[in-house]
Amino acid sequence: MGYYGPVLHDTNQLQSSEYTLVRSRRSRSLRIMVDIDGVVRVTAPVLLSKNYVDAYVRKHGAWIYKRQQQASQRNIIKVPKKDIPVLKEKTARIIKDRLGYFAAQYGYSYKKVSIRDQKTRWGSCSRSGNLNFNYKIALLPEKLIDYIVIHELCHLKELNHSKNFWNLVARACPEHLLLRKELRRTHIVTR
Ligand SMILES: [Zn+2]
């Protein structure tokens, strides 16, 4: 662990002034990374002095601070890799249940449903009426799961994000704007 000391800012609220230093034979220059959850990692060439690294990190304190502020707005849910198979099953069960419920209530019919390892999306709908859902969905609060299900069901009628589409979503989920915001700040990471 290194330490880059107090960096003064307007709010003077540095989340953490520690960083993890990784010495790498392959690295030719210093590199600072701020993880999705705000943890700072520095990669440095083997021979670079600790003082030099500290000074470099201190110099980039404002940038690190900004990244950490962004990270503090995120809601990070961590899931151990070994739990993934169970999670997939749980998500499949929940999706089946909620899809059935909302499809019956609003008169939607879909074809195939798949639970997938989707990196950037919670769900998707194909032109032929197949629905895909991210296997991590079971970790979300119920209201967010319902919003995702409703969103994809509405794509069966409107395969776009037009005004008509959002009207359909609002019919089943009046607070969708809030839920979308909540979903944007939610990140699930597997460790
Ligand atoms: Zn959509």
What separation in Å is there between the alpha carbon of 47 and the centre of ligand 1?
Answer: 50
Q: Which residues contact 39 (CB under 8 A, 6 or more apart)?
A: 16, 20
Distance CA 108, CA 184 (A): 26
Residue 171, both tokens = 């019919």
Ligand 1: centre distance to CA 10 (Å): 39
Q: Express the helix, strand and coil content of the chain in percent, nearest 5 each.
A: 45, 20, 35
Q: How far is the CA of 153 from the centre of ligand 1 (A)?
A: 9
What pLDDT score was predicted for residue 13?
38
The alpha carbon of 106 and the centre of ligand 1 are apart by a number of angstroms equal to 17
Which structural domains are found in the chain, ordered by start? 2-73 (no CATH), 79-190 (3.30.2010.10)
CB neighbours of residue 124 within 10 Å:
16
- Ligand 1 centroid to Cα of residue 107, in Å, is 19
Question: How far does the centroid of ligand 1 lie from the alpha carbon of residue 83, in Å?
Answer: 28
pLDDT of residue 17: 64
Distance 161 CA to ligand 1 centre (A): 6
Ligand 1 centroid to Cα of residue 160, in Å, is 7
Q: How far apart are CA 44 and CA 53, in angstroms?
A: 7
Walk along the chain (191 residues) in steps of 10 and give the mean pLDDT of each run. Answer: 42 57 90 92 93 92 93 92 96 97 95 92 95 97 97 96 97 96 93 85
Helices (H) and strands (E) counted in the chain, each on its own, are: 6, 9
Distance in Å, CA 152 to ligand 1 centroid: 6
Listed residue (180, 191, 98, 83) closest to 135, CA to CA:
83
| Type of residue at 65 | Y
Q: CA-to-CA distance for 162 and 42, rounded, in angstroms?
A: 44
**Among candidate residues 52, 70, 59, the one with its CA nearest the CA of residue 15:** 70
Q: How far is the CA of 24 from the centre of ligand 1 (A)?
A: 42
Distance 8 CA to ligand 1 centre (A): 42
**CA 154 – ligand 1 centroid, Å:** 8
